[in-house]
């Protein structure tokens, strides 16, 4: 078994905006490096305001986008290696499962939701027959507080958003994945149900020994559910470390700004409140520190070159010339 469950190695993703001839390049994800160890399951939250590259990074891990630079390695298998995942889509689906933002978009209104769970169990070869699939589906639903007796034959419109998201989670669990990618999984759910879902992630992490990447800009739930937090800004990873350390004592000025905008559980910051006048795509192509134009601590050094990684301790790192806390010696 590989030492790392997931390694994101210097990954970048570039889109062209405005046409092939006069269009501009937008670096949606810019040289991001992250990893998740294989020794114990964790929840890694990737946070940042809209447009920071969270979902693009998520889609690259799910192989919905190919990186333009860098590589992603899952349990020792490189995404670029044609002998591994490129020719074994079934194994990849067993190892990695997604949970998307809007559960109503994950299921067709014309099909009962239990049919999706049965299809997952049977088509991926997890169950040999309908009887085995029935037991697997029922167990998965019970793990999220439902049951096949409650769900069977019902259509998406017969469930609340929170209930349907639980069905999505149950579907992901059927494969016994190593990694679940949850992209804004509570964004479309009533505020009263959000903590139920994130509590469920914590329970499932320990019960099934599965790690989560939790993509969110709801910092209160990220604080509550995460073992580690990675902060993105304009496609760049600017701070990473244990969740409590980062949110209690941020080292990057941008993370400090985010923390100051979290009044209570379930609230999000308003992007309009944080926006600066110049929000054009050229900000993504800045070759020096991308946060320098809005940073109250920026110096000439920040406007000339991009900072490298500064390790504050064995785990925590920040990409800043002038971090708000100093490295431990």
Residue 16 lies in a domain: yes
Mean pLDDT of the chain: 88
Q: Per-residue pLDDT tens for 60-83?
A: 999 999 999 999 999 999 998 877
The total number of residues shown for the chain amounts to: 329
Which percentage of the chain shows pLDDT scores above 90? 65
pLDDT of 264 > 50? The answer is: no
* Residue 10 within a domain: yes
pLDDT at site 145: 92
Q: Percentage of residues in the chain with pLDDT exceeding 70?
A: 90
Q: What stretches of 58-152 adopt beta strand conformation (E)?
A: 69-74, 77-78, 96-99
Identify which of 177, 178, 218, 171 has the alpha carbon closest to the alpha carbon of residue 198. Answer: 218
Q: Predicted confidence band at 275 (pLDDT cuts at 50, 70, 90)? A: very low
- 3-state SS class at 257: helix
| Confidence bin at 19 (pLDDT 50/70/90) | low
Q: 211: phi > 0 → left, psi -120 to 50 → alpha, else beta; which?
A: beta
Going by C-alpha positions, the residue among 158, 117, 107, 124 that lies closest to residue 141 is 117
Q: Would residue 329 count as lying in a domain?
A: no
CATH number at residue 100: 3.40.50.300
Query: Does the pTM of the predicted model rise above 0.85?
Result: yes
Q: Is residue 35 part of a domain?
A: yes
Report how many domains make up the chain.
1
First to last CA, the chain: 33
How far apart are alpha carbons 229 and 329 in whole angstroms?
A: 23
* Residue bearing the bigger pLDDT, 86 or 125: 125
Which domain covers residue 239, as residue numbers? 4-318
Query: How far apart, in whole angstroms, are the C-alpha atoms of residue 212 and residue 177?
Result: 10
Does the pLDDT of residue 278 top 50, yes or no?
Answer: no
pLDDT digits (tens, 9 = 90+) for 80-99: 887 766 657 888 999 999 99
Assigned domain for 326 exists? no
Q: Which tens digits make up the pLDDT trace of 126-183?
A: 999 999 999 999 999 999 999 999 999 999 999 998 899 999 999 999 999 999 999 9
Residues 6+ apart with CB under 8 A from 270: none
The pLDDT tens digits for 155-169 are: 999 999 889 999 999
Query: What pLDDT, on the 0 to 100 scale, is given for residue 223?
Result: 86
Q: Choose between 288 and 192: higher pLDDT.
A: 288
pLDDT given at position 132: 95
């Amino acid at each position: 078994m590989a030492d790392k469950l997931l390694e994101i190695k210097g990954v970048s993703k570039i889109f062209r905006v405005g046409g092939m001839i006069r269009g501009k390049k937008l670096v949606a994800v810019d040289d991001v490096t992250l990893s998740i160890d294989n020794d114990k399951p964790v929840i890694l939250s990737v946070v940042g305001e809209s447009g920071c590259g969270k979902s693009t990074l998520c889609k690259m891990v799910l192989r919905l986008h190919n990186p333009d630079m860098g590589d992603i390695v899952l349990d020792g298998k490189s995404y670029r290696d044609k002998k591994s995942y490129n020719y074994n889509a079934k194994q990849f689906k067993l190892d990695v499962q997604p949970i998307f933002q809007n559960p109503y978009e994950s299921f067709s209104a014309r099909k009962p939701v239990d049919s999706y769970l049965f299809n997952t169990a049977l088509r991926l070869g997890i169950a040999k027959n309908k009887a085995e699939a029935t037991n697997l589906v029922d167990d998965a639903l019970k793990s999220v507080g439902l049951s096949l007796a409650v769900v069977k034959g019902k259509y998406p419109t017969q469930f609340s958003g929170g209930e349907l998201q639980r069905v999505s989670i149950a579907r992901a669990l059927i494969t016994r994945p190593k990694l679940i990618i949850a992209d804004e999984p509570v964004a479309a759910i009533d505020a009263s149900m959000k903590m139920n879902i994130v509590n469920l992630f914590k329970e499932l992490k320990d019960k099934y020994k599965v790690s989560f990447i939790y993509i969110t800009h709801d910092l209160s739930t990220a604080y509550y559910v995460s073992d580690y937090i990675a902060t993105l800004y304009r496609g760049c990873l600017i701070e990473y470390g244990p969740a409590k350390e980062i949110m209690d004592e941020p080292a990057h000025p941008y993370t400090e700004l985010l923390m100051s905008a979290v009044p209570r559980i379930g609230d999000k910051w308003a992007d309009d409140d944080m926006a600066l006048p110049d929000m054009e795509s050229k900000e993504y192509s800045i070759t020096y520190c991308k946060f320098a134009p809005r940073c109250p601590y920026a110096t000439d050094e920040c406007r000339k070159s991009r900072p490298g990684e500064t390790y504050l301790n064995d785990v925590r790192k920040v990409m800043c010339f002038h971090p708000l806390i100093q490295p431990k010696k």
